[in-house]
Amino acid sequence: MNKVMFGRFIPGHSWVHRLDPRAKLVLSFLYIAVVFFANNFWTYLIMTVLLLASVAASAIPLRVYIRGLMPLFWLMIFTVLIQVFFGAGGHVYWQWGWLVVSQDGLNSAGLILMRFVLIILISTILTFTTEPLEIADGIESLLSPLRKFHFPVATLALMLSLALRFVPTLMDEAEKIMNAQRSRGVDFGAGGLRQRIKTIVPILIPLFVNAFNRAIEISTAMEARGYQDGEGRTKYRQLKWHRLDTVSLVIYVVSLSAVIGLRYFS
């Protein structure tokens, strides 16, 4: 589990770390949306520079990001190969049966690879520098306009934060159940696919039953502590929008507008 860097939080005090989670969420979404507008050298240059600047501002070494890309390495190779061999059009460099390496194919392969890397890196910046809890708070705050349409934002936020709070607890429990079953003779990871799937059951069922018992106890405890409904509560955690957030937002909006401008007006 520890090998997966994607989605992990790395504590720090950099510019990006100190940004409001709402700002980071909005900026990441904007960036990802604009990636699909980029279509030539200059637009990609701006996007790359903006990304590298953000990476630098996060004070996390680039190689940590690269390691985060590693699990997706084969997926990247696969998409690039598909694009190279099946993208037709333009000058043909090489042909063998229905396999064609053409100019357009190479172009679109490069484009896809570029987009892929940019999107993954920008989301990695978000997850590296923002605690899951902050992300939950940010999502709640960004969704709050939906209250007008009777969308239960407070309830959703509570669910999200309870789920996040119980991830480590449930992981511990899964580990305990696995060891308990091992000590009773279950051999995980042995045998064929069918056998392996069968050995999951003795972990899953107890975990499921425990989750139900936990839910009952938590809801009892919450009720005993005066929880009635998501609405009408005050909030202890509060997000604060600083000047740093405005500055970052302006930088992003200017650069991303330039990208859109270059696409349509050059």
Partner 1 sequence: MAIIQVEHLNYQYSNSDTKAIDDVSFEIQAGDWVAIVGHNGSGKSTLAKLLIGLMAADSGKITIDGQELTPDSVWQIREKVGMVFQNPDNQFVGATVADDVAFGMENRAVDRDTMVAKVDQALKQVGMSAYKDREPANLSGGQKQRVALAGIIAIAPKILILDEATSMLDPRGRQEILAVIQQLKTDLNLTVLSITHDIDEAANADRLVVIDDGRFVEEATPDNVFNHGQQLIDMGLDVPLSEKLKDALQKRHIAVPQSYLDERGLIDWLRTSRLNK
C-beta closer to partner 1: residue 234 or 266: 234
One residue of 39, 62, 78, 217 binding partner 1 per CB under 8 A: 217
* Site string (151-170) toward partner 1, x via CB under 8 A: ----------xx-xx--xx-
Q: What's the CA gap between 116 and 260, in Å, rounded?
A: 19
Binding of partner 1 at residue 233 (CB under 8 A)?
yes
C-beta closer to partner 1: residue 97 or 232: 232
One residue of 234, 264, 265, 266 binding partner 1 per CB under 8 A: 234
Q: What's the CA gap between 54 and 118, in Å, rounded?
A: 12
Q: What's the CA gap between 29 and 38, in Å, rounded?
A: 15
State in angstroms the smallest separation of the CB of 138 from partner 1.
14
Query: How many CB atoms within 10 Å of residue 85?
Result: 17
State in angstroms the smallest separation of the CB of 146 from partner 1.
21
Binding of partner 1 at residue 79 (CB under 8 A)?
no
State in angstroms the smallest separation of the CB of 143 from partner 1.
18
Closest CA relative to residue 24, chosen from 175, 148, 142, 118: 142
One residue of 172, 209, 247, 254 binding partner 1 per CB under 8 A: 172
3-class secondary-structure state, position 102: strand
185 φ/ψ sector (left φ>0, alpha ψ -120 to 50, else beta): left
State in angstroms the smallest separation of the CB of 92 from partner 1.
58
One residue of 179, 220, 246, 257 binding partner 1 per CB under 8 A: 220
Q: Tokens for 83, please give them.
A: 């694009």
**Alpha-carbon distance values, 263 to 27, 39, 233, 250, 251 (Å):** 20, 7, 47, 20, 19
The CA-based dihedral angle spanning residues 12, 241, 250, 44, taken in that order and rounded to the nearest 10 degrees: 40
C-beta closer to partner 1: residue 81 or 222: 222
| Contacts of residue 165, Cβ cutoff 8 Å, sequence gap at least 6 | none
Q: What's the CA gap between 231 and 212, in Å, rounded?
A: 25
Q: Which residue stretch of 28-36, 100-108, 181-189, 230-238 sits at the interface with partner 1 (rule: CB under 8 A)?
A: 230-238
**Rule CB under 8 A: which of 129-148 touch partner 1?**
133
State in angstroms the smallest separation of the CB of 93 from partner 1.
56
Binding of partner 1 at residue 232 (CB under 8 A)?
yes
Q: Which residues bind partner 1 (CB under 8 A)?
A: 133, 161-162, 164-165, 168-169, 172, 214, 217-218, 220-228, 232-238
